[in-house]
Amino acid sequence: MVTSAESDYLMRLASLSLSFVGFSAVVVTLQRALGGELSDRHLRLVRLYIEGGLLVTALALVPTLLNLLHVPGTVTWPLSSAAAASIFTLVLLVQFRRRRAVEPGRFPPWVVVVYVVSTAAVVSLWLNVAGMPFRSDAGLYAVVLTWALCIFGFIFVRTIELFLQREV
């Protein structure tokens, strides 16, 4: 069973994430309204912001949906974690390929750190699925979703100059 505190946190996270998606879309629209063109790099970043934010929003709703379907708590967190781990594994692979296609060469150190920590977050979700080393619960799930939203926001802030047509 999902407690009210767990549900409340995840609903707030979903709201914040959806707000991030909307704000990102406004910045992109503003950039276009000012006559800016969207390069392949712009498009990759826009997709990252919007896809990432919507994924966090959707994944934050999964446990409450399972609760409404009367799925027991012992199944809710492993199942939710498996969904998130699968999706975030795919996101890491796709983003790596997209970045490599648009920006060849070495990744900046901050990008490497983001990939390493994000990979550790995904591994922790897989451990939450298995109930290792602790019983599966909401805490780890919420931490990883929060991490994901923070990373999408961090990348947004790191690259905002690109959208405002300033040197990065």
Peptide bond into 63 cis (omega under 30): no
Residue 35's pLDDT is 75
Min mean pLDDT across 1-5, 6-10, 67-71, 82-86 is at: 1-5
42 versus 100: which is more confidently predicted? 100
Q: How confident is the model at residue 72 (pLDDT cuts 50, 70, 90)?
A: very high
Structure tokens at 30: 């503003």
Min mean pLDDT across 23-37, 39-53, 66-80 is at: 23-37
Most confident of the following: 12-26, 29-43, 76-90, 93-107: 76-90
Q: Is the pLDDT of residue 148 over 80?
A: yes
Structure tokens at 78: 């492993």
Q: Is the pLDDT of residue 168 over 50?
A: no
Q: How confident is the model at residue 164 (pLDDT cuts 50, 70, 90)?
A: low
Query: What burial class does residue 132 get, using C-beta atoms within 10 Å of its C-beta: 0-12 exposed, 13-18 middle, 19+ buried?
Result: exposed
Q: Which residues contact 19 (CB under 8 A, 6 or more apart)?
A: none
Residue 70's pLDDT is 94
